[in-house]
Amino acid sequence: MARIHSHRHGKSHQTRPPSRSNPSWVTTTPDEARNVVLKLAKEGLTPSKIGQTLRDDYGVPLFKPLAGKSIGRVLAEGKVAPKMPQDLQDLIERAQRVQKHLDVHGSDRKNVHSLELIEAKIYRLSKYYKDKGVLSKDFKYATVVAQLA
């Protein structure tokens, strides 16, 4: 699949397990996995970090086939779901890092353009989440690109 703002097809990615069914060698039960997910979420880990921890420390290749539901749904049922979706949070943090860079290096036009593209992604994603009801309708991301010009 092509990237949204560059006209390239990325090759760098993880390889998921070939089958979406639960392997026979997984010894973790669904209840144990749910308890671990809730425990890690209370420690402050993001859903993707929880998935990595389950994979690396507990030997669970994919959580969804094991438990029958996603990590996000388990977090929502346990009332420990993050207030903002992780992909939107990551984009906002990325925009803040670029803004901090531009405070020091104000004439870096390439990163000004990069910030514009990041903010476009934030607007697009926040509109999607508002329509889905994940974000509140009054969520507003304050743009910084307009302040730079």
Instruction: Please list, residue by residue across 63-91, b when 16 or more beta carbons sit within 10 angstroms of its beta carbon and e when fewer do.
Output: bebbbeeebbebbeeeeebeeebeebeeb
Do 107 and 65 lie in a common domain? no
Do 92 and 137 lie in a common domain? yes
Residue 41: pLDDT band by 50, 70, 90 thresholds? Answer: very high
**Does the pLDDT value for residue 111 go beyond 90?**
yes
User: Last residue of a domain, which of 45, 77, 109?
Assistant: 77
Q: Which amino acid is at 107?
A: S
The answer to whether residue 123 is domain-embedded is yes
pTM of the predicted model, to two decimals? Answer: 0.78
| Mean per-residue pLDDT of the chain | 88
Do 66 and 37 lie in a common domain? yes
The answer to whether residue 71 is domain-embedded is yes
CB of 82 closer than 8 Å to CB of 89? yes
The answer to whether residue 130 is domain-embedded is yes
Burial class (CB in 10 A: 0-12, 13-18, 19+), 25: exposed
Domain count, the chain: 2
Q: Give residue 11's Cα distance to chain centre.
A: 19
The CATH number of residue 92's host domain is: 1.10.287.10
pLDDT, position 10: 75
105/11: higher pLDDT = 105
Q: What is the maximal distance between C-alpha atoms in the chain?
A: 58
pLDDT, position 24: 87
